[in-house]
Amino acid sequence: MAEPATTTTSTALISAISITALFPNLDAGSVLGALCGATLLIVGRKELGRFKSIALFFASFVIGILFADLMTTVLCGILPQDLSDKTPLSLGALLVSILATQLLLLILNQDLASLIKIIRGRI
């Protein structure tokens, strides 16, 4: 019997290849980075239900693909010049997908009244 981590990894890789084949304009590295970032934090969360896990996975995956360029640009501004030239798009997708997952989990764990206070700036 295969281990869950092996099955998840192989499914994620096959999914990344399939998505890249469907949308040839997407960078394969950014798709794989966003997929790994979304998978990384969702797999370890057993307290979430299946529906919330799947919704959170797809949301962070799409956010990772959409904002990969922005995060890579931010990283290039932070890193030294010799490293910023070599910063791959997949690293930006991975980081923004992880940040999106954490932010979405934070929002899911708050109640509506405290979210409204946070949005209005009255913590």
Gap between the Cα atoms of 49 and 56, Å rounded:
10
Report the predicted TM-score, pTM, of the whole model to 2 decimal places. Answer: 0.73
In the chain, the number of structural domains is 1
The pair of three-digit structure tokens given for residue 99, joined into one six-digit string: 């940040």
CA distances from 16 to 1, 7, 36, 88, 94 (A): 24, 14, 9, 17, 13
Rounded to the nearest 10 degrees, the angle between the axes of helix 68-78 and helix 28-42 is 90
pLDDT, tens digit (0-9, with 9 covering 90-100), for 75-113? 888 888 877 778 888 888 999 999 988 888 888 777 777
What is the residue range of 114's domain?
Answer: 4-120
Q: Terminal CA-to-CA distance of the chain, rounded, Å? A: 50
The pair of three-digit structure tokens given for residue 92, joined into one six-digit string: 């930006």
pLDDT, tens digit (0-9, with 9 covering 90-100), for 2-52? 555 566 667 766 776 776 677 677 777 888 888 888 888 777 777 777 788
